[in-house]
Amino acid sequence: MLLDELGADMASGELSSLVDICIQHLTLALQVAGRGRQAQALLRPATGCLRLLHAELNEYIRRQDYRFLSKPGGAESDAPWRAIARRRSKGAAWD
Residue 94 DSSP class: P
User: Higher confidence at residue 90 or residue 66?
Assistant: 66
C-alpha–C-alpha distance, residues 56 and 63, integer Å: 10
Would you say the pTM of this structure is higher than 0.75?
no
CA atoms within 13 A on the CB side of 36: 9
User: What average pLDDT does this structure show over 15-28?
Assistant: 72
C-alpha–C-alpha distance, residues 31 and 1, integer Å: 13
Per-residue pLDDT at 55 exceeds 90: yes
User: Higher confidence at residue 70 or residue 4?
Assistant: 70
User: What average pLDDT does this structure show over 17-43?
Assistant: 81
Indicate the residue type of 33.
A
